[in-house]
Structure 1
Amino acid sequence: MIQIFDGGIHTKHNRGFIMKRKHGLPEFLLLFIKSEAVFILNGIKTIVAPPSIVLINQKTAYEYANPNGAYIDSWLHFNLNNKTDFPSLDILGNQFFTCRKIPQLETYLEKILWEKEYASTTFKEKNIELLFQLLVNNLVDAYEQKDHLIHNHPYYYSFQELRLKIQVNPTIALSANELANTLKISVSHFHHLYKAFFQTTFKNDFIRFRIEYVKKMLITTDLTIEEIMIVCGYQTAVHFYRQFKQITGTTPSEYRKNNER
């Protein structure tokens, strides 16, 4: 069973803030460090650059601050009645590591705090346990990827978000120019990073996602092919049929016939 005591999302402390606990705490403290900071854990000083994560173990003496300005973090105080339920947490204890996935991890943390305050008694404990397992799984994955150059690239997480947006909305035509502008980078740099991150071009990915959606519509709806073409964002039949044939090797009508349920 997990005990959630309290937590915060993007908590900002003004310059001069310092936290000291010379005997530590009886619970764990998970910190998503979002500003420069200096930590002292069990007498060992570490200068930490954002974005970083640390899980401070129980009864660990610590202090931390940002001597150069505001200190910002997200945090969670928790305890485990049976630590063996989450053995992977052991590798995270008192280890600082860079993590570009903090925005994603914060969504789990925020949901845990929400469930703690507002979930009905019937589901509270189970919901928190499931969300906490998701958080731990992603923390361990981030730790194991900490030395991976691609995963630690400043734009990698932003590109993952954009790619998912394209994948779940393939009917919306988003140009490389628009996406590059949202990231405040040049179009050529956008294309270079996209290929490096996903081993394919933005154009090919977009076409593939759209055709996958067309295929799903062909075998799960009673819409005509022309209606599907319009729903999936195609403006001309020639363009639609040519792309579908290039990707699948068959026509829409043949694909529907061969994949009838």
Structure 2
Amino acid sequence: MIKVNIGGCNNHHPQNFVVRHVEGSKDYLLIITKTETSFSIDGEKYETPPGTMVLFDKNVPSNYGNNSGEYINDWLHFDFEGEEPPFDKLKIVLNKPVILNDITSLALILNLIITEMHSKSTYKEDVLDHYVKILLYRLSEQIHNKNDSIKSHPLYQKLVELRTKIYNNPQEKWTIDRMCRELKASASYVQHVYKHTFQTSCMKDVINARIEQAKFYLLQSVLCISSIAENCGYDSEIHFSRQFKQFTGMSPREYRENMIARKEQNS
């Protein structure tokens, strides 16, 4: 069984903040970056773009951060009890940065893991075991799907960079026209290729990025709902609340109260 020890989603750190593991970790550590990141792993140095994954073996010295701006990542500490790690079977390399083609789908799985970790579910350990295994399978698929026609598309890297900008800065005024300028392509073509690549429309992805940012503010700050709406790119608190409920099933206030209550129950 896989045991989840600790983790976090969409964690923000200031420029030049460095995470240091001088003697490594006593368990396995998965990092998925959302910004440019400088890694030092067992003496080897790497400069990586947003959307990079590193799976650290136990006791491997490392440090990482972003020298050029804010550092954002998802992370998970986990270990195996009563079974061998499937890394060889899944051909997941350890201690080497790997650029992924869709961190959003992986971030959603990690979000499920972190939410379940703080729950009092009767079957929490079993659910976490299954979630992490799904995460590892999805990682393996992305790493080894070398013949994926999407990745060979001439706009692929620019699309990944555009999506990363959207998720790192969802509060900005994202429009189809702006995306066309970024990609130097027509509106119909951009909308078609974006959906083909990420299985969601341009503007739905913008909304999802804003909702994820709002969740972070609701849980990690004391900002009022109207300020959160503004910080996430909404001109109207009413519009923000309507979209938030449409995507989560709860109003922003209900979401905040519900998650705070969960934390208090688990403390």
Q: What interval of TM-score do these two structures reach, taking the shorter chain for normalisation?
A: 0.5 to 0.7
Q: Deviations over 1:8-32 (max 9, x none)?
A: 1111100120122221011111011
Report the TM-score when normalising by structure 1.
Answer: 0.59
Counterpart position of 1:251: none
User: C-alpha displacement at 1:36, in angstroms?
Assistant: 1.2
Please report the RMSD computed on the Cα atoms of aligned residues, expressed in angstroms: 3.1
Larger Rg computed on CA atoms: 1
Higher alpha-carbon deviation: 189-198 or 5-14: 189-198
Separation in 2, partners of 1:124, 1:53: 26
Report SS of the residue matched to 1:106: helix
Measured at CA, do residues 13 and 156 of structure 1 come closer, stay the same or move farther in structure 2, by a change above 3 Å? closer
The residue aligned with 2:113 is 112
**Does 2:58 match 1:46?**
no
Task: Report the counterpart of residue 135 of structure 2 in structure 1.
Answer: 135
| TM-fit CA distance, 1:81 | 1.7
In 1, are the aligned partners of 2:177 and 2:187 still within 8 Å (CA)?
no
User: What secondary structure does 1:91 align onto?
Assistant: coil
Would the alpha carbon gap of residues 66 and 127 (structure 1) be closer, same or farther in structure 2, given more than 3 Å must change?
A: same
User: Does the CA-based 8 Å contact 1:145-1:151 persist in structure 2?
Assistant: no
Residues 139, 14 of structure 1: CA spacing in aligned structure 2 closer, same or farther, 3 A cutoff?
same
User: Which string of whole-angstrom CA distances, capped at 9 and with x for unpartnered residues, describes residues 203-235 of structure 1?
Assistant: xxxxxxxxxxxxxxxxxxxxxxxxxxxxxxxxx
How far residue 113 of structure 1 moved from its aligned partner, in angstroms, is 1.4
Equivalent residue letter for 1:189: Y
Number of the residue aligned with 1:181? 176
* Deviation digits for residues 25-65 of structure 1 (CA, Å, limit 9, x no counterpart): 11111011111111111101111111111111111111112
Q: Is it true that 1:96 corresponds to 2:91 in the alignment?
A: no
1-side partners of 2:187 and 2:47: how far apart? 36
Q: Percent identity?
A: 27
SS of alignment partner, residue 118 of structure 1: coil
3-state DSSP of counterpart to 2:19 = strand
Query: What is the TM-score of this pair, normalised by structure 2?
Result: 0.58
Is the Cα–Cα contact under 8 Å of residues 110 and 135 in structure 2 kept in the other structure? Answer: yes
The answer to whether the 8 A contact 1:101-1:157 is kept is no
Change in Cα spacing, 1:194 to 1:66, as seen in structure 2 (3 Å) is closer
Q: Closer, same or farther in 2 for the Cα pair 1:32/1:197, shift >3 Å?
A: closer
Q: How many residues align?
A: 177
Instruction: Tell me the CA shift for residue 193 of structure 1.
Output: 3.1
Partner of residue 26, structure 1: 26
Which ranges in structure 2 are unaligned for 5 or more consecutive residues?
A: 164-174, 181-185, 199-267
Q: 1:147: Cα distance to partner?
A: 7.4
Cα 1:126–1:13 change in 2 (3 A) is: same
